Structure 1
Amino acid sequence: MTAQTWNLDQSDGELRIRTGVEGRAAKMGHRLTIAVNSWHAAVEWSDGEPSGVTLAAEVDSLEVLSGEGGVTPLTGPEKALARSNALKVLNAKRFPRIEFETSDIEKTGNGYRLTGTLQINGKTREQAVDLTVQEVDDVWRMSCEATVRHSDFGLKPYSMLMGSMKVADAVTVAFTAKRNNR
């Protein structure tokens, strides 16, 4: 079997970030859902199995979609402010991309375990991701969730009210995509 590459981007699926809120005044804050609107993944195939995966996300493409909780509903200007704060926290001007690259892919009962390096803010850490794959009518439906900590990458979560309300250190990154398997 010959080698091939699958190229995926935001037209094939979604990359989302979900944040939490910590601190004494946490009930005042919103748990955000943030879209990454520009990303690209490449899946290298060899002998019918994935042999390498890379994913690059453009930090400047972040968009705050919604906020749960809080004292009042999240408004448009508050979404814009949250986006601006996220770009500052992620040091987007200096490090415009977040990148993941596998060093190992292991088949599991319902998909693959992707182990590799995640680079955020110029810092690289090991990251494992369990990718679930469902094949229906020659279409692969892929999904995964992973926890990423600000502190692992030298980032200080946004805070206000002298630290009594801040974005939780751990955020959840969720990925879903579909691809014809021809």
Structure 2
Amino acid sequence: MEQSLLIHKAIVYATKAHAGQKRKASDVDYISHPMEVMEILALNNASINLRIAGILHDTVEDTQVTIEDIEKNFGSEVRTLVASHTEDKSKTWHERKQHTVDFLKTATLEEKLLALADLIANARSILYDMDILGDDVWSRFKATKEEEEWYYNGILDSVKEFKTDEKYEKLYKEAEKLCSKIFE
């Protein structure tokens, strides 16, 4: 299938999977988040498979879609990327986040890019909501502001090689700046 058609297929697939879902106690359709992740990846010249994984990264975790469905429809590479970013919801918030931070330390470049793009999209959303709600934004989260700060800093530390990477330095610095504004 042509690359642009694969992107379109992933967008339709994720839109149907996330139908009716909203972002963190807001009225914003959830699909806006994976679309923003895909845009961040596209602007940083990510591969087609990584862009598709960006679109689908929350489908297994937050919908009825299975990892086998992802492989059947989008191939093993996309499956691996989505699986790398799928949390085990049977674990506590802290256990899930610690696993992500630890995993990213030895993850592939594409797995790290997916996590960084997700962090940036989430951080932009938090800042946008903070402008409207102020510190009340934290009532939407399962964790405290301090716990979220620990997690975001853990991700940044796990992908810190991007800080001096000519290709991804700008992306990393955006993430740092967003986190600094959120947690100042």
Regarding TM over 0.5, the answer is no
Larger % of strand: which?
A: 1
Q: TM-score, normalised by structure 1?
A: 0.26
Q: TM-score, normalised by structure 2?
A: 0.26
Between 1 and 2, higher relative CO (CA 8 Å, sep ≥ 6) is seen in 1
- Structure number with greater Rg is 1
Larger % of helix: which?
A: 2
